Every structure is written in C-alpha cells, then in structure tokens.
Chains A and B, each alone.
Chain A
C-alpha cells in the first residue's frame, strides 16, 4: 500500500477545493433574493477557483515521485463509536486528481454556459446554488478517504441531481422525474450502505487504506458480496441495468444539468467507485464478471434506446448509458481495464458535455423543441454549434485523431484480452454507436428543414458558444495529448495497477476492424436520415424500435414488479391498520363499554334489592369461612 504523504504546500488546501463551491452554494441558497444580482458570478468564481487550485495541485503532484503522489489530509474525527471510527479526511491521489480536474474544469465551463442558457429564468440564482452544491458534493465523493465520507458525497450528488432534475418543478413530469431518480438511487444506496457495513464487520474499518491493506485476507465469498453490493451502488448512480430507468427521465432537467451531472460527472461516480475499490474486484472474480455482464447489457440497451428516440436529449442519454456501460465493463476486466475505464471516462466527460451543450444550444434556437424530426438543415444557421457538435460526434464514434478513438479502442482491445466474446460484442456496439450518432447529426444539421412555423433558428450568444469551442478543442486534442505527451497509463498505474496481455493479432487489426464497423454504421445512418426524407410523424417501426421508444420497457417492468405491489401492500396495510389493529383496540373499548351497559341494569334503585345482595354476599363469606375452617 502506498504511504500517505502529509498535506503540505498547495496540498494543504485540499479542503478548500470542496469548501469553496460549498460556500458558494450556502450563500446563494440561504442568501435569498439579495444575491440575485451577483450570485451567478459568485457561483462561477468559486468553481473556477477550485479549478485553479486543482491545476496547481496537478502541477505539484507531477513534481513528486510516483510513489509520493498520494496525499492525505485529516480535519477531525467525524463519527466514532466503540470500534467504529470514520474521519473527516481527504485523500488526493492520481485517480482523484483526474476527477477533480474533470469536475472543476468542465463544471466551470458549464457554469459559464448556463449564464447564457438560464439568462431569463427567474430562479437563476437557485440554479447556480444547486450547481455549486453538486460540484462540492462530487468533489467530496472523489476526495474522501473512507467509504462513509464517500457516502456523504455520493448522496449529496444525488440530492443535487434530484433538485436539478426537478428544477422546473411547475412541470409535474419534472417533479416526478426527480423523485424517481432519487428513489432508484436509494436502491443503489442500500448496496453502498450494506457494502460499508460488511467492510466494517470484516475489516473493522471503512478507510480506503485500511480496507485495501487487508482485503486479501478476507474470504472470497465476503469479497464477492462486497463487490456485488458496490456494483449495485454503481448501477444506481451510473444508470446501469437494472437500475437504468431514471436517466432517460432525468432529461427533464435544464440541459446544462444534463451535460454536467447526467453525462460528464455524476453518472460516472459508479465507475469511480469500482475503480477505487479495484483491490476488492481484483480479488473477487465473480463480482468482476457480474460487472462485465452488467456493463455489456447496458452498452447494448443504451445504444438501442439511443437509436430509436426522436428526442435529442433522450437519444444522447441512451448514448450516455451505453458509453458508461463501456467504462463499467472495462472496470470489470480487472487490471487490464481500470486505466482505460478512467481514460474513457475522462474523454467521454469532455465530448459528451460538448454534445449536450450543443444540443442545448440547438434547443435554444428552436424554442426549446427537442424533437429531432422537427429539426433539419440547421448547419448553415448554427455554424459554431454544428461544427463543435460534429467534432464531438467524431470523438464519440471514435474516428482518429479525436479522443474517443484512443479510449474506446483501448477498451475494445482490453476486452479481447479478456475474452473474444466480450471483445466482439463491444466491437459491434461501437458500430451501433456510429449509426445512432450519425442519425442524430443527420436529422439535426442536414437534410431538409422540418421546422415548426413560428421557429426562427439562430446561433446562441458567445457566452454559450465559447464553452462549446473549448470543449471541442478538448475533444480534438485530449486523447492525443494523454497518449503521446502525458501518459495516462503510467500516471494511474500506482493506484489501479496495470497488466497487458499479448494477443495473437497485432493491435492495428482491432483498430481497423472497429473503424470499419463504425463507418458502416455511420454510412447506414447517413443514407437513411440524410439522403432520404425524414417523416415528421415517426413511422411505426419494427418491434425493437417500438420497444426502444418505451425505454425497452424499463418503466413497465419496474411498475409491475415494484411500484404496484408496493402501493397495493401500502393500501392493504392502511386497511389492516384501521380495521385490524385499531379495530381491535376500539373493539376492546367497545366490549368494555357494552359490558358495563349491561351490568348497569343491575343498579335498579331498589334499596331492598341492594340489601339482599349484601346479605347474600355476607352469607357466602360466612359459608366460605366455615368451609375453610372445616377442611
């Protein structure tokens, strides 16, 4: 286990990374209307300041030896009872710093973008407050040095996500979507809670250092259980099968939220959790296999849903599910995949944020219409948006030299190292990615205009396009630079470990095959949606299309299996409580009342009958006495 370095110099500011956005959130949310005027700028400033501190820390870390890059900072002992103790303490290492930078830099860009996107919203201040709260919670999640503190961040991002999905609460659908997200996430939280408890019972601690230090000595059954519980948690947060149903509804939130929380950062928390707990998954083979299976199912589900949806945000959400499926699957591959999961996560954070913000920019010019069947031929009118969108599109389908090419190829290569079946499935899904992303680009920017009558498409203001340009630049050069200039594999290696296996075929064969598949998918998409007329009314489609439009019946299954039985049980218990338990209580009261009602008739008012009963009683007493004496 790596030694923790004391937090000195710039690293003594680890707590400030979290405290800054948190302070921003507190001031904005509790300051009330006074902060309306300058609040949003404060929000941007605090997140920006965290980003600057993060970059300084990265530079500081690069000067240290690879073994001395794990820095610990303990503020105080947080919870302590008996043998249990958890500190309010942070751990900054090569893995967390990657996340810190992703969260703060992308977060800052999205904050700036929101300034334009939310310009006319009366609750703009609250929006920035929630965003700041999210950034603080997400930073806590990745900086915590023990699982319990991680849980606080974990739930904090869930809360922020809930608040932001239902930001436009006046729409019942938005309020319902937020609630749904929170409750499904709670199911995942049960997994995390139980995993933490099992860790404490097994290892007597919930700190990363302690747990990973002795993890090897636990039985494989225990480790598998912990691994599966962590996987459940990851499924909830990262919208993996079978807890995927909330993510599509989460698109009810404002688009910057979808970009930041439901694409770039929060939904990748599950990947972080698995990679952070790599010691456990490496030791528990079946848990790792479960991770691969879940990831693979979600890759395909997401891609199929993404191919069928006409709502641009939901189609992107399907794509997010699918891409996170890749990451989870890679994380399940073990040391051959951890690094690539994080690499893809980073790249995905950049290009998917770009895609979502681009979609937001399109919606901004189309009166917030999200139906791609009413788009078309927007490229000349939205030059910056379309250019950046297409760059991010090339990145996600994995065309060299854009950054998705590097990360996704690494994952496919690694999955072939694990097993040819996994590899082939992952490769085919890449082809499907090419199809649905091309469909989206073709329907939005090319073909014929199918706009509604009162729509006047226009380019968005600079405050929105500049973040798009920056993200597009990141999507162009990010992969290249992380492979050739700053080697991400050797950077993460001390935390995650790394293994490579020699395959029978050289790497370029896999790269080329994937590329060919992607191009086939893209060409099919282009032929169907750009060259041919796109009907305004969606055609009936095949059974798969119809199922995919209904999210592959995710909601229906939940409804039948969980929601309806719950409410049925609830109503039955209410009846039971009123009639059964309370009925028994009131019944016994009524019984006593009835009994006394009958008994009082013996109170006739005739003095002599009372006297008779007295005499009778006296006779009985005397008889009893005599009998007792006699015996």
Chain B
C-alpha cells in the first residue's frame, strides 16, 4: 500500500482535530480534539519513518506519546479543578487572564 495515503489520513485527522479545537466549547471535547491532532502527528511520523526507511520518526512518536500522557494528566487536573469551582466545563467562561 502506498504510504503517502497514511500522510493524507494524518492531514485529514489533524484538520478535524484543529477544527474541533476551534469550534467546540466543552473543555473535554477540545481536549480530545487536541489528542486527535497529536495522534495525527504521530501517524505522520510513523508514515515518514516508513517512507525514509529509518527509525527516527518512530522514536519521536514515542516521545510524543509520553508528552501526550503527561499533558492529559495535567490538563485533566486543571479541567476538573475549574469544573469544581465554576460548575461548568466551557472554555469560554474562564477568561480572566486578559488585559
């Protein structure tokens, strides 16, 4: 199978993730969209590793997974804290960090 198809899939997934981040208001969904983008990137890495015939891309993909895991831990903790204080998971409401 042509590995460039995987790259196209990755681009599609990434775009879906990006649109999700931009249009959805619920923090959990936004979060999942971010995960989608990360995994789209992983897919691209792996696909390029296959195309170039070396393992560098796969190594980076593992790094991304580790970072993503750490990010989920911190991110979820923040969301839960915000939900507890505000009774809402909307990301438009906590906009105190502005001018």
Contacts and interface: CB of A to CB of B under 8 A. Distances in A.
Interface string A594-624: 0000001101111110011001000000000
Interface in A12-63: none
B95 A605 contact: yes
Nearest to B18: A615
B74 interface: no
Contacts of A601: 99
A615 to B, nearest CB: 6
Nearest to B25: A608
B95 A600 contact: no
A603 B95 contact: no
A392 to B, nearest CB: 89
Contacts of B96: 605
Contact of B95 (A606, A611, A612): A606
Contacts of B99: 600-601, 603-604
Contacts of B98: 603-605
B95 A608 contact: no
Nearest to A602: B99
A611 B22 CA distance: 7
Contacts of B97: 605
A603 B95 CA distance: 10
A605 B93 CA distance: 9
For chain B, the bracket of interface size reads 10 to 19
Nearest to A615: B18
Contacts of A605: 95-98
Contacts of B95: 604-607
Contacts of B18: 615
B91 to A, nearest CB: 5
Nearest to A597: B99
Contacts of A612: 22
A607 B91 contact: yes
B12 to A, nearest CB: 15
A612 B24 CA distance: 12
A425 B89 CA distance: 111
A612 B99 CA distance: 18
A413 to B, nearest CB: 95
A619 to B, nearest CB: 10
A605 B97 CA distance: 5
B22 A615 contact: yes
B21 interface: yes
A120 to B, nearest CB: 77
Interface in B20-53: 21-22, 25, 30
Contacts of B25: 608
A606 B18 CA distance: 16
Of listed A604, A606, A612, residue having the most chain B CB within 10 A: A606
A607 B18 CA distance: 13
A455 to B, nearest CB: 85
A599 to B, nearest CB: 9
Interface string B84-95: 000000011001
Contacts of B21: 608, 611
Interface string B8-23: 0000000000100110
A600 B97 CA distance: 12
Contacts of A608: 21-22, 25, 30, 91-92
Contacts of A606: 92, 95
B90 to A, nearest CB: 10
Nearest to A618: B18
B96 to A, nearest CB: 6
Contacts of A604: 95, 98-99
Nearest to B91: A607
A34 to B, nearest CB: 72
Interface in B48-99: 91-92, 95-99
Interface in A565-612: 600-601, 603-608, 611-612
A408 B96 CA distance: 99
26 contacts: A600-B99, A601-B99, A603-B98, A603-B99, A604-B95, A604-B98, A605-B95, A605-B96, A605-B97, A605-B98, A606-B92, A606-B95, A607-B91, A607-B92, A607-B95, A608-B21, A608-B22, A608-B25, A608-B30, A608-B91, A608-B92, A611-B21, A611-B22, A612-B22, A615-B18, A615-B22
Interface of B: 18, 21-22, 25, 30, 91-92, 95-99
Interface of A: 600-601, 603-608, 611-612, 615
Given A601-B99, A607-B91, A608-B22, 14 more contacts: A600-B99, A603-B98, A604-B99, A605-B95, A605-B96, A606-B92, A606-B95, A607-B92, A607-B95, A608-B30, A608-B91, A608-B92, A611-B21, A615-B22
The 7 closest A-B pairs by CB, nearest first: A605-B98, A605-B95, A600-B99, A607-B91, A603-B99, A605-B97, A611-B21
